[in-house]
Chain A
Amino acid sequence: MMPDPSMSAWEPELRPRQTLWQRLDHGARRLLPSVFIALIIIFFSAPLTIPGSAELLPALVMATIFFWSFWRPSGMPGIAVFLLGLFMDLVGFTPLGVSAFILLLVHGVAFYARFGLMRLNFLLVWGVFGLVAIAACLLQWGLACLFRLDLLDIAPALFEALLAIGVYPLLSAMFSWVLHRMDEKEDP
């Protein structure tokens, strides 16, 4: 039986070897969201005079991770989420591991529900993200209460969730544009 000639394209051995430049390009594309988040963490942990920057940072990180985890999981693998969360904990003043834990949960929800989420229109995805953000902020608040053994004020947690819900459309539009540009370059 003759092998189908069209199938040969699927053989991995017959793909042209990537040049160094291409590999660097691919790596940069995969690292782009993680680097973006790392820069945001460094920027917002600097002593800025922006009001609400303490709440804005987790909101931005959460929205970014959610978007990339369901839309392009190769750009936001679990290990990157873990390392970014740990970095956020080290730089900020949250107990070590809290952000890593919560961000991994956000990532997990988005990752396992991505086939369902991709079929929904934007408003529904936004609603799902809103629920996830509220749950994450409540969890963070609960953990903080647990570690302090004291009932803390819930208002900052809700403010953080609202900020996350508010920045999601902006970040989503920005990342969609970035993804579009990437895909355009990928197959000219």
Chain B
Amino acid sequence: MIPVSIQMRQALGKLVLPLLVLLSLVILIAGQADRKLADQARMTVADGLAPLWGLITSVQTHVQGVSTSLREASRMASENTRLQTENENLRRWYDVAVSLTRENDALKTALHWIPEPTPAFVTGRVVADSGGIYARAVLLVAGTESGVKVGNVALAANGLAGRVTETGAHSSRILLITDIASRLPVLLEASHATAIMGGDNTAFPRLMYYAQETRPVEGERVVTSDQAGAFPAGLPIGTVHYLHPGQPVVLPFARLDHLPLLRVFDFGQGLIDPPEAPGHVPLAHPHKSTTLPLKTLLGQG
């Protein structure tokens, strides 16, 4: 250490702080005058500290991950208890279903029930329909080669979508239930009343010709009816909704604006021919006249 007197050292000690303040002011002004140098100094320091910051950030992400997984674990525990109770509940329902199936089988055996044929179906990809005479129709990549026939029923994942109107070798056109040319006999499930569901090119087909004493109830399920033999009974279509008082429409279960795939079912309705009855004169062929009104019209014109 440099030998200096105590007085000198004290004087120097008192000078240190003002000098440092002055120095900081000088740096302040110099930094404003030469920004490039200041930025360079900043970047050098930042480069040096980058690994430390990386360490801090990684610790932070780790801590966040741990806290997130802890929260997730508590959420999963509550979810697990919920699922367990639901599972118990479902197990009870499973037992009920099994016993009901047994009972149903027993009853059918007792009644000498003739089993219904299981319908054959093909699944095809939907491609957009650009041409054609219908406003709401789609083209399916499955045709007569795959066994699709005119009049077959097309089902989406959870409801009726439409029926086949024209078939090619590898494609078929399906008239959706929302098209203005679509008129389907339907059954209101709660009241067992019949009605006609007619499309009007909007997303919600209207309900028409229902009996005045059994008006459709809001939220009621609508299924197909086997009147006129076009559809098997009981295919789910949608629920009743009143857009305006006195104007019931059907909210279709199938998302008809996003149809990626369709299943085309052949329920074999056309094969059921009524036996000849002496003296009975059929007015028209029931099947063809109901399913293809426009095609016959076009064929005549």
Pairs A–B under 8 Å by Cβ, sample size 15: A45-B53, A46-B56, A48-B56, A77-B16, A79-B20, A82-B20, A90-B46, A91-B49, A95-B38, A96-B41, A97-B31, A100-B20, A101-B21, A104-B21, A107-B17
Shortest Cβ distance from B46 into A: residue: A91
Residues of A within 8 A of B52 (CB): 42, 46
What are the interface flags for B24-53 relative to A under an 8 Å C-beta threshold, 1 for contact and 0 otherwise?
Answer: 111111111000001001100110010011
Among A79, A96, A101, A104, which residue has the most Cβ atoms of chain B within 10 A? A96
B144 at the interface (CB under 8 A from A): no
Are A82 and B23 in contact, CB atoms less than 8 angstroms apart?
yes
B57 at the interface (CB under 8 A from A): yes
Interface residues of A (CB under 8 A from B): 42-43, 45-49, 77-79, 81-82, 85-87, 90-91, 95-98, 100-101, 104-105, 107-108, 111, 143, 147
Q: Would A46 and B53 be within 8 Å (CB), given that A82-B20, A90-B45, A91-B45 are in contact? A: yes
A46 to B55, CA, bound (A): 9
Interface residues of B (CB under 8 A from A): 16-17, 20-21, 23-32, 38, 41-42, 45-46, 49, 52-53, 56-57, 60, 64
Shortest Cβ distance from B42 into A: residue: A90
Shortest Cβ distance from B52 into A: residue: A42
Residues of B within 8 A of A46 (CB): 52-53, 56-57, 60
Shortest Cβ distance from B38 into A: residue: A96
Are A105 and B21 in contact, CB atoms less than 8 angstroms apart?
yes
- Identify 11 new A-B residue pairs, CB closer than 8 A, beyond the known A90-B45, A101-B21, A104-B24: A46-B56, A46-B57, A46-B60, A78-B16, A85-B24, A87-B45, A91-B49, A95-B31, A96-B30, A96-B38, A143-B28
